[in-house]
């Protein structure tokens, strides 16, 4: 009976057509009453390599392709790809960053999975906008990623390699509007003035 139940759980997981799972998602797919029984099945699913544990309460279906960006969204929600990673994606920054950088309204953290670094930088909830869904992940628009980077640069938390930026890809009107939506601190105003000399704003 136990083998049958485990087989049924495996069948439900594959039939769900999901690739990423939380504990809640798995509980919906494995409707057993006892908590201990559920986690017994879950441990067996990981042991049999049906699921791969990627962090606490987060699992990936084995042998499926999930992009680093989709995984970044899943690992630490709410978050969206931004900063140097998004700038590289949009062709504004030529150098490929060594980590997958995201913005989050939660606290700043760094996570690791399979040798890859996923960094999450805190932004106030009032600044948590300007992103959209591309394929299967959330990513900042060109201008939002740029202003996110500039904002943390002004705080001393990010670097900007000015000479490596492709400014032709940035809409200056949108950029001006976005800049006004951020706290106009002395440090940020100084960064904006530097930007103006680079972009001719």
Task: Give residue-wise pLDDT tens across range 72-125.
Answer: 999 999 999 999 999 999 999 988 888 999 999 999 999 999 999 999 999 999
pLDDT exceeding 90 applies to what percent of the chain? 84
Cis peptide before 78 (omega within 30 of 0): yes
Sheet of 51-55, strand order: 20-22, 58-61, 51-55
- Does the pLDDT value for residue 13 go beyond 80? yes
Domains parsed from the chain with CATH numbers: 2-61 (1.10.10), 68-199 (no CATH)
Using alpha carbons, select from 24, 28, 121, 49 the residue that is nearest to residue 82.
Answer: 121
Sheet of 79-81, strand order: 109-113, 116-122, 100-104, 79-81, 137-140, 131-134
Mean pLDDT of the 2-24 span? 86
The predicted structure's pLDDT at residue 81: 98
pLDDT tens column, 156-179: 999 998 989 999 999 999 999 999
DSSP for 40-81, written as a single string: HHHHHHHHTTSEEEEETTEEEETT----HHHHHHHHSSSEEE
Helix, coil or strand: residue 114: coil
- Does the pLDDT value for residue 2 go beyond 70? no
What does the alpha-carbon distance between residue 167 and residue 14 come to, in Å, rounded to a whole number?
Answer: 45
Helix, coil or strand: residue 103: strand
Helix, coil or strand: residue 21: strand
What does the alpha-carbon distance between residue 172 and residue 72 come to, in Å, rounded to a whole number?
Answer: 29
The predicted structure's pLDDT at residue 95: 84
Beta carbons within 10 angstroms of residue 128's beta carbon: 15
């Amino acid at each position: 009976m136990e083998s049958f139940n485990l087989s049924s759980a495996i069948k439900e997981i594959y039939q769900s057509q999901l690739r990423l799972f939380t504990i809640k998602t798995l509980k919906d797919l494995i409707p057993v009453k006892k908590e201990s029984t559920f986690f017994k099945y879950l441990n067996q699913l990981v042991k049999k390599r049906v699921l791969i544990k990627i962090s606490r309460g987060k699992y990936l279906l084995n042998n499926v392709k999930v992009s680093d960006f989709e995984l970044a969204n899943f690992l630490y929600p709410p978050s969206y790809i931004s900063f140097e990673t998004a700038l590289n994606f949009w062709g504004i920054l030529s150098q490929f960053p060594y980590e997958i950088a995201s913005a989050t309204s939660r606290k700043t953290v760094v996570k690791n999975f399979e040798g890859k670094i996923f960094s999450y930088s805190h932004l106030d909830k009032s600044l948590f906008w300007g992103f959209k869904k591309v394929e299967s992940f959330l990513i900042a628009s060109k201008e939002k990623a740029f202003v996110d980077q500039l904002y943390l640069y002004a705080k001393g938390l990010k670097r900007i390699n000015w000479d490596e930026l492709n400014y032709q890809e940035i809409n200056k009107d949108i950029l001006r509007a976005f800049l006004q939506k951020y706290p106009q601190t002395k440090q940020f105003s100084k960064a904006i003035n530097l930007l103006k000399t680079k972009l001719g704003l």
